[in-house]
Structure 1
Amino acid sequence: MASLDEFAAIADRHLPEPVARRWKELLRTALELQPAEPGDTVVGRLGGEAVLPADMPWPAWEGHGPLTLIASLDCALLPKIDLPLPETGLLQFFFFDGQVDGGTTLVNGGLPETRDGSRVVFVPEGTHAEPRPHPEGIVAYEPTAVKAELTCSAPDEQSPVLVAHFGGDEDAAAALADEDFIESIAPWDKPEHQIGGYAAEVQGPPEEEIVNGLRPDLEPGTLPYKAEASAWQLLLQVGDVDETEMLWGDTGQLYWMVRPADLAAARFSETAFTWQSG
């Protein structure tokens, strides 16, 4: 895991002072989710059963079928990071994983007609809710208890946040493209499972896939396009878990993205989702 001080030292060593200072402004705190061991604080689970109020229907995609629970997080147990997560309550992440139709229909941020194929369900603290098995036709993933480790997350050279932040500054772009700088950051691979920070993209920035679906009027690659993409931040990323057959293609990743203002206002219906595979 990387620390803010380690990334800052790399920037100071390889970048001109004005560029280093502005680049360090983009560093974000994040939480790496790892399998919990005895004695660890369990902050949530990958897979397992959902916990829902009795009057809440199981999340489903109309015309396609029920969604599968991918992860649940106890917000009260999560260390604080830059992202304005709820202080208490249970966050649950659902996804149409193809069990119902044999993988015929894929959910992707660039396809707005598939948006209902994912869901974030928030159960506030104090709400009467109970474990509920998955509907017929869905087999729950074997639960994996997870702990959360605080880490620091940096944008890579493709990040729309980086492009939007530096605008058309060609000198800064040249400094940030320096091979020594990029190679110095590379040893800190982004986690497989992560809350907040910058996503570990498989096929380009997931923020841009979201914009492709929501704002087809914006021309890809332009500064307005990058600025719109930079408004989205990673809420949760879930990678493959071989032991429980939680697999998303070839080294795939699931991404739930959010605008921080929507998250702070508990507008979970405004989250967006995309899925990438190698």
Structure 2
Amino acid sequence: MTAWRQRLTALAQEHLPAEAVGAWLGLVRPGVHLVPEGDGAPVGQLGGDPALPAGVEWPTWGERGPLTFVASVDCGALPRELETLPEAGTLLFFSFDGRYDEEDDEPAYGEDLDGHRVIFVPAGTPVAERAAPVEHLAYPRRDLHARVVGSAPDVGRVLLDSTTTPEGAPLVKAVRPGLLGELAWAETEQTARHQVGGYATAIQDAPETEVAVMALGGGYRDPALAGEGARWVLLAQFDSDDEADMMWGDVGTIYWVIRSDDLAAGRFDAARFTMQCT
């Protein structure tokens, strides 16, 4: 048993009713926190200059201009507990934040897919670091290391809402209010939360569910939401980070989520973006 699962198993056995332990543990999954210090070589970076293939243009959002490079993650350097990502290749995350134009300083935090981009560079592709096409567009570079954590769903996720105990009771009804949220946060550091895989660290509604609502267009009462919401998983999240000079809204977090089948097929351009703040 892996260390993260051992920790969550101990938490479940200590705090959950016996009939709820197995149901909850069946939902947990590994995630990787991206932290500034750690053992071994970095697995990615915040800010700085991205390494792009010669034939790939810097992503832009129509007439509004170039997107900002947020982060890169080397999938081949990640711990293999995170089986959902490719075994090799690099993910590059770009988002429009308007920070170089004082007259257009509203980030694109809505549904426009052109305002946020994920580029996957297969392993072995010749690349070179490329400076941003606009002055003052780049964030300071900050190297990131990997730390595997256990990740569990908080309340408000359709996957959790549809899970039952062996006795047939809804899991959310089988435990005291607030407890599942406390357990979901047990592995979360009280520092900047950058992460790939696992469950998103929600500030408001679950980002996976929020994006499913966007995709359906029918609101939170759409009868199709239970099925659609369970299909979306976290690809990556990047928190506000003073050291990297990143501030998303009012000390918020930006998220890319993706349907499980698109993730398995490597269709990273199908990832959707959302942002949350306090």
Bin the TM-score by the shorter chain.
Answer: 0.7 to 0.9
Change (3 A) 1:185 1:155: closer
Q: Tell me the residue number matched to 1:134.
A: 132
CA distance in 1, matches of 2:117, 2:170: 42
The DSSP-based 3-state class of the residue aligned with 2:261 is: helix
Tell me the SS of whatever aligns to 2:162. helix
Map of 1:33-52 to 2, 5 A cutoff?
33-36=34-37, 40-52=40-52
Task: Please provide the CA RMSD for this pair.
Answer: 2.4
Which is worse superposed, 176-185 or 4-13? Answer: 176-185
**Residue in structure 1 matched with residue 9 of structure 2 by the alignment:** 8
- In 2, Cα distance between the equivalents of 1:192 and 1:24? 23
Q: CA deviation at 1:21?
A: 0.9
Work out whether 1:200 is the aligned partner of 2:198. no
Task: Classify 1:156/1:176 alpha carbon distance in 2 versus 1 (closer, same or farther; 3 Å).
Answer: farther
| CA distance in 1: counterparts of 2:170 and 2:125, whole angstroms | 54
Superposed, 1:117-266 pairs within 5 Å as 117-166=115-164, 171-179=170-178, 182-183=181-182, 186-189=185-188, 192-217=193-218, 219-221=219-221, 224-266=224-266
Q: 1:183 to 1:153 in 2, by over 3 A?
A: closer
TM-score when normalising by structure 2: 0.88
Quick one: distance in 2 between partners of 1:186 and 1:244? Answer: 24
Whole-angstrom distance in 2 between the partners of 1:106 and 1:171: 39
Sequence identity of aligned pairs in percent? 36
Provide structure 1 residue ranges, at least 5 long, that are not aligned to the other structure: none
C-alpha displacement at 1:210, in angstroms? Answer: 1.0
Measure, in 2, the Cα distance between the counterparts of 1:265 and 1:181: 32
Give the length in aligned residue pairs: 271
C-alpha distance in 2, partners of 1:82/1:25?
A: 16
Corresponding position: 1:30 with 2:37: no
Q: Structure 2: which 5+ runs fail to align?
A: none
Mapped to 1, the partners of 2:264 and 2:238 lie a distance apart of 22
What CA deviation, in whole Å up to 9, does each residue of 1:245-265 have, x standing for no partner?
A: 111122210101112221221
Tell me by how many angstroms 1:220 deviates.
Answer: 0.6
